[in-house]
Amino acid sequence: MAIDQKARYAYILEYYDSQAEMIRRYQLLYFLADDTIEMHDIKNRRIFLKRCQYDGIKLSDFFVGSIVNIYSRNLTVVEYADEFTRSANVKNHQRTLAMIKPDAFKNAGSIISAINNAGFRIANMKVFSLSRTEAEEFYSVHRNREFFDGLVDFMQQKPIMALELVKSNAILDWRAFMGPTNSNTARQNAPKSIRARYGTDGRMNAVHGSDSAENAIKEINFFFGTGHKFTSTAQFSDSASSCCLIKPHAFKENITGEILQEILNNKNFAIGALQLFSLSKENAADMLEVYKGVISEYVAMVDELSSGPLIAIEIIAKGTDKQHGVNQFRDFVGPFDPQIAKILRPNTLRAKFGINKIRNAIHCTDLPEDGNLEVEYFFHLLQ
């Protein structure tokens, strides 16, 4: 059956215009028949983008809270503009809170790959180190259970990663994908599940997932809402910190997990802090300021860095002096140009995951004295 030519979804998008210091609102129409979009400036009642196919934009990019990049602007989808769009999207874009628990943190990359392969989109992601009070609050429904104290002890041992996942039927699908609460039961009854593959026992079971729509909202808010300020996990060390960015193209290609796992497997480095960010063009230009006028690809680098979500990571080099630490991670990342990297240093991250000089998968700190500055930019200034 042919799709109705006029059938379209409608969204309200916002963009912070830093030059005019105001928020601009647009209505975006997505035509289902031919995957074209059209945009209107709401205030001026003017057409902003004539109906066209827009490279790199797909229907699955649109849900409340998502960020789409059009004409180098990062636009946030803030609401559905009509009931047709709302009811279709509420079904297609359910959200849930997943957590990678301390026992599985060393496998966080592989778990993220599995999450992506199972069709979940990652809308938010951050590493936390929970205090006793925070762990107690998160699991407060279990306060009277005999396993509560053990659970709280376990949860505040090491870093954890919280993830906001989006998919149709996300809550139940993620619970099924996690497997039974007890990892040993999981290995018997659901050998492909995450808990079977990465869990330890009944308490240390690799991952968490919200159990209802109500709790999903509560738990997403707990980690990603503005209500609670968590202590930063970043170490901001002048001697050991350097900054690694998994670039937007790599995030879009769903290779974040593979890259992260390579970093986790390398015994020379530890992860201090990690978080998903969407940089505006101004932020990206700020961040890459030192390359302005130095590297001919500067403008294209800024465009790439502001083209969608990226993952910022504080890398802690273990047991080395400052000079050595940043250089050691650079060495692991490899030459700027992946084509050269593939020939000269085939085991480096850029050789394995990069495409070209702009889409080279990873940004890493170049100069030892910039390591902590770059980390502070993400984990202090942008917080």
Given the rule CB under 6 A, which residues bind ligand IDP?
Answer: 142, 147, 150-151, 181, 202-203, 205, 208, 211
Q: What is the C-alpha separation between 202 and 8, in angstroms, rounded?
A: 48
Question: In this complex, which beta carbon is closest to Mg ion, that of residue 74 or of residue 193?
Answer: 193
Question: In this complex, which beta carbon is closest to ligand IDP, that of residue 150 or of residue 346?
Answer: 150
Closest by CA position to 244, among listed 280, 288, 274, 208: 274
Closest distance to Mg ion from the beta carbon of 211 (Å): 5
Q: What is the DSSP string of 292-359?
A: TTTSTTHHHHHHHHTSSEEEEEEEEETT--HHHHHHHHHHHH--SSHHHHHHH-TTSHHHHH--SSSS
What, of ligand IDP, Mg ion, none, does residue 203 touch, CB below 5 to 8 Å by kind?
A: ligand IDP
Closest by CA position to 96, among listed 176, 178, 195, 170: 170
All residues at 6 or more sequence positions from 154 whose CB lies less than 8 Å from its CB, including other chains: 101, 102, 103, 203, 204
Question: In this complex, which beta carbon is closest to ligand IDP, that of residue 205 or of residue 233?
Answer: 205
Of the candidates 208, 228, 324, 363, the residue annotated as catalytic is: 208
Total chain residues near Mg ion (CB under 5 A): 1
Closest distance to ligand IDP from the beta carbon of 229 (Å): 25
To the query of whether residue 380 is one of the catalytic residues in this protein, the response is no
Side by side, the strands of the sheet bearing 269-278 are 207-209, 94-100, 160-167, 121-128, 269-278, 309-317, 241-246, 362-364
Closest distance to ligand IDP from the beta carbon of 70 (Å): 39
Q: Are 68 and 61 in contact (CB under 8 A)?
A: yes
What, of ligand IDP, Mg ion, none, does residue 71 touch, CB below 5 to 8 Å by kind?
A: none
Residue 55 burial (CB < 10 Å; 0-12/13-18/19+)?
exposed
The label of the residue with tokens 């390398």 reads 266
Cα 161 to chain centroid distance, Å, stands at 11
Question: In this complex, which beta carbon is closest to ligand IDP, that of residue 143 or of residue 380?
Answer: 143
What, of ligand IDP, Mg ion, none, does residue 205 touch, CB below 5 to 8 Å by kind?
A: ligand IDP
For residues 211 to 230, the per-residue mask of contacts with Mg ion, x marking binding by CB under 5 A and - elsewhere, is x-------------------
Question: In this complex, which beta carbon is closest to Mg ion, that of residue 41 or of residue 211?
Answer: 211
Closest distance to ligand IDP from the beta carbon of 187 (Å): 15
Residue least distant from Mg ion (Cβ): 211
Closest distance to ligand IDP from the beta carbon of 276 (Å): 23
Question: What residues are labeled active site?
Answer: 208
Q: Which residues bind Mg ion (CB under 5 A)?
A: 211
